[in-house]
Amino acid sequence: MIAANLENWFAKVKRPMPWRRRPSPYVCWLSEIMMQQTTYAAVLPYYERFLKKFPTVEKLAAAKESDVLKVWEGLGYYARARNLLKAARLIVEKRHPFRFKWPSASAEWAQVPGVGPYTAAALSSVLNGERVPVVDGNVARVFARVWKLADDFSKLPARAKLAERLQPEIEKCRVPGDFNQAMMELGALVCTPKSPDCAKCPLAKMCAAKKDGAWADYPVKKGKKELPVRKMTAVIVKDAKGRVLLVQNREGGLLKGLWELPTVESAAGVTQVFSHFKLEQKNFKATRMDAEFRDPKSVPLTTATRKVLAACFQ
């Protein structure tokens, strides 16, 4: 019942995403990575730009990391871009004399850098028809409501438990890739976090939360930790050629490889009395000495730096 309802509904409403028109391992993999934590509308222009610049996995494997990050600039979660490049190089290295050896089963996809259990299931079901259910945030929300599940789906064990519960459903479906995409599409388009459109839902008749008027209680919200605040002062210096003083983030972490404005920290101030006025001067010293003038269009920038430069120089 669940499988048939989902597949019939999906056949009528599925969005014409470009990677659905001509699915290949490269475009499906790229789109799945881009769609992690990101909406379709935000991904679409990046997907098109990325494929124009790197139309094949070979071209991607041969790219410089800074060029990949530049195309990714603004999409966030930059580890995804670095992992794509790393994985492309691994895939191309393992080439068969005549063709690449793409992963096929979900267990093989899960070995690829940046591919977790959810993405592995999505790729193997779409590309190889493997009967393995995906559980992302959208799917968790839908079935937390359908079955009134109180688990914390931010945790992997809860997602694995839900995948087990969905296994008998995917066994009954006609096309595993469509079944998985239908679940994700339902969460994205109909069973949305704040305003589910139950009248259009193919699972409405079996949804326990709808029956009890309790959809807002599912998934159960766990208290969010307050984020620590990091305060910084940055300087903006532009030279006569239009280049901007920038530093590259060389440490590990989320922003590795991206360029940003140099930051400064407070230094001793000075007071000096002149004949007609008293000077009170605040001082700052650079926290890094390796800043250099760069054309901001030629290097990948952090989002914060991009926003500041756009506000100052537009």
Q: What is the 3-state secondary structure (H, E, C) of 99-148?
A: CCCCCCCHHHHCCCCCCCHHHHHHHHHHHHCCCCCCCCHHHHHHHHHHCC
> How far apart are CB 221 and ligand SF4 at their closest, in Å?
15
> How far apart are CB 145 and ligand SF4 at their closest, in Å?
4
> Of residues 146, 149, 184, 261, which one binds ligand SF4 by CB under 6 A?
146
Q: Could you say whether residue 309 binds ligand SF4 (CB under 6 A)?
A: no
> How far apart are CB 152 and ligand SF4 at their closest, in Å?
19
Q: Which residues are paired to 278 by β-bridges? A: 273
The answer to whether residues 201 and 12 touch, using CB atoms and an 8 Å cutoff, is no
Cβ distance to ligand SF4 smaller for residue 31 or 138: 138
Q: Are strands 263-273 and 259-260 parallel, antiparallel or unpaired?
A: unpaired
Cβ distance to ligand SF4 smaller for residue 101 or 211: 211
Cβ distance to ligand SF4 smaller for residue 209 or 299: 209
The 167-206 site mask, x for binding ligand SF4 (CB under 6 A), equals -----------------------xx----x-x--x-xx--
Q: Could you say whether residue 139 binds ligand SF4 (CB under 6 A)?
A: no
The answer to whether residues 264 and 285 touch, using CB atoms and an 8 Å cutoff, is yes
How big is the chain, counted in residues?
Answer: 314
The residue among 55, 59, 54 whose CA lies nearest residue 71 is 54
> How far apart are CB 197 and ligand SF4 at their closest, in Å?
6
Q: Could you say whether residue 162 binds ligand SF4 (CB under 6 A)?
A: no
Q: Could you say whether residue 91 binds ligand SF4 (CB under 6 A)?
A: no
The answer to whether residues 6 and 202 touch, using CB atoms and an 8 Å cutoff, is yes
Catalytic site residue 32? Answer: yes
Angle at CA of residue 261, ends 260 and 266, nearest 5°: 130
Residues that bind ligand SF4 (CB under 6 A): 142, 145-146, 190-191, 196, 198, 201, 203-204, 207, 209-210, 215
Active centre residues (catalytic): 32
